[in-house]
Amino acid sequence: MNSLIGFPCSAIPRLETQAHSVLLMLLEGNKKTSELAIGLGGKNPRSGLQSLMNDTHNYWNIINVGIEGSNEAFYKIDPRHLSSNPELDKQARTERFLTLLKEQKDGNQGGANRLFESIEALQEAESLFSPQLKLPLKKKN
């Protein structure tokens, strides 16, 4: 399937963008990271994949499948997008949206925990080094 007919207009990237090129390649079938990079003239496909998978292009559910014994992965579009069934397409997009929110929550939780630890460390350091900061400077004559 290489047609963008039937997909929500908000899900289709503008022509001549990295996201559009990545989407067309994935609609042809599963692609390795290196195949996507070659199709993009050597550029990393990460930006295109990210914009397809977030609100920029209505949450395409692109599945990253690791290749055993390799540092490379391949990507495939969730088959529900390709089903020609608007309800299944919507289900895949909703699932991606929820996954993205969970990833954001998990990332922000780690940041919140680090912030609390940083505040405690700063307070401890200030109390430890505060007396030294209050020492008068000797004037040079």
Nearest to 82 by CA among 91, 74, 73: 91
Residue 116 has a pLDDT of 84
Residue 141 has a pLDDT of 63
Residue 137 has a pLDDT of 62
Residue 125 has a pLDDT of 84
Sequence-ordered list of residues with C-beta below 8 angstroms from that of 63, at least 6 positions apart, any chain: 75, 76, 77, 78
Residue 21 has a pLDDT of 96
Pick the CATH number of 9-129 from 3.30.450, 1.10.3470, 3.90.1530, 1.10.10: 1.10.10
Phi, psi dihedrals of residue 88, rounded to the nearest 5°:
-70, -40
Nearest to 26 by CA among 70, 68, 65: 65
Residue 59 has a pLDDT of 96
Residue 54 has a pLDDT of 95
Residue 132 has a pLDDT of 66
Count of CA atoms in the C-beta half-sphere (13 A) of 102: 6
Look at the block and give the residue holding tokens 């290749």.
67
Residue 17 has a pLDDT of 96
Compute mean pLDDT per 10 residues along the chain, 141 residues long, and list them.
82 96 95 91 94 96 88 91 94 95 86 84 83 67 63
Where are the domains positioned within the chain?
9-129
Count of CA atoms in the C-beta half-sphere (13 A) of 82: 15
Residue 100 has a pLDDT of 93
